[in-house]
Amino acid sequence: MLRLLRVVMPKYWGIIPAAGVGRRMGGPVPKQFLKIKDKTIIEWTILALAQHERIDGLYIGLEKTDQYGDWIRSIHPKVLGVYKGGETRSETVLNGISYLIGNGCSEDDWLLVHDANRPLLTLKEITRLIETVGDDENGGIVSLPVFDTLKSGTDGIINSTVNREHCFRALTPQMFKLGLLHKALLQCINQGFMATDESQAMERLGHHPKLIPGSVTNIKITAPSDLRFAEAVIGLEQTDVDQIN
């Protein structure tokens, strides 16, 4: 008798940690809620992920879920939930993973963590990330090689020149198995270690994430000049943006 095997396709979830207050912008409004043209930064960021066909759903970590929750949920049907963020990025992501698992997501599902203030993410970057990582449990991150000369210095004085040959800028999304990332972040928090991103937590667990080529337009908005750059890029036709990436 021919027995049919059921193939279970992996799920891809997105978490956007948006609980930060954006002190570097210097204004009263968290930077993810500043506007670029007709939408806020967080709206552009959510749409960038939600429009990819492989993304099954998004979860947004907020400082005050009661203040922004209903509005965030209305941005796109793929926004399946909002949750209370933590004091740090790691805590916000960890809270999100617990929220997903509590809502029935499998620890074998894939999780893409993306900065709330990177609204210029392209569909090509998401596709490259998912396809290149495949089923490799090391996961992977979107990245860019460092082209500028790097200097190490103290108190405004150069100490040495850093070999940039093996240096990369870590961007987002960063994609890992839900259960493994949960274990990695929990280990860091329990050890009192402040991981600056998810890949660093995975490295401490013994994994070696893949470096996936990113786009030069995938910037993190941290200063007013970044807002002007993002507005210019969003104002371009999509065909023009694709020529840059």
Per-residue pLDDT at 22: 58
Could you read off the pLDDT of 12-43 as tens digits, one per residue?
A: 999 999 987 655 555 667 889 999 999 999 99
Per-residue pLDDT at 238: 44
Instruction: Assign 3-class secondary structure to the chain.
Output: CCCCCCCCCCCEEEEEEECCCCHHHCCCCCHHHCEECCEEHHHHHHHHHHCCCCCCEEEEEECCHHHHHHHHHCCCCCEEEEEECCCCHHHHHHHHHHHHHHCCCCCCCEEEECCCCCCCCCHHHHHHHHHHHCCCCCCEEEEEECCCCEEEEECCEEEEEECCCCCEEEEEEEEEEHHHHHHHHHHHHHCCCCCCCHHHHHHHCCCCCEEEECCCCCCCCCCHHHHHHHHHHHCCCHHHHHHHC
Per-residue pLDDT at 27: 64
Per-residue pLDDT at 147: 93
Q: How many CB atoms lie within 10 A of CB 23?
A: 9
| Residue at token pair 């991981």 | 195
Q: Please state the domain extents for the chain.
A: 12-236
Q: Between vectors from CA 45 to CA 13 and to CA 144, what angle results, nearest 5°?
A: 85
Low-confidence ranges of the chain (pLDDT < 50): 237-245
Q: What is the pTM of this model?
A: 0.91
Q: Is CATH 3.20.20.120 correct for 12-236?
A: no
CA distance 113 to 174: 5
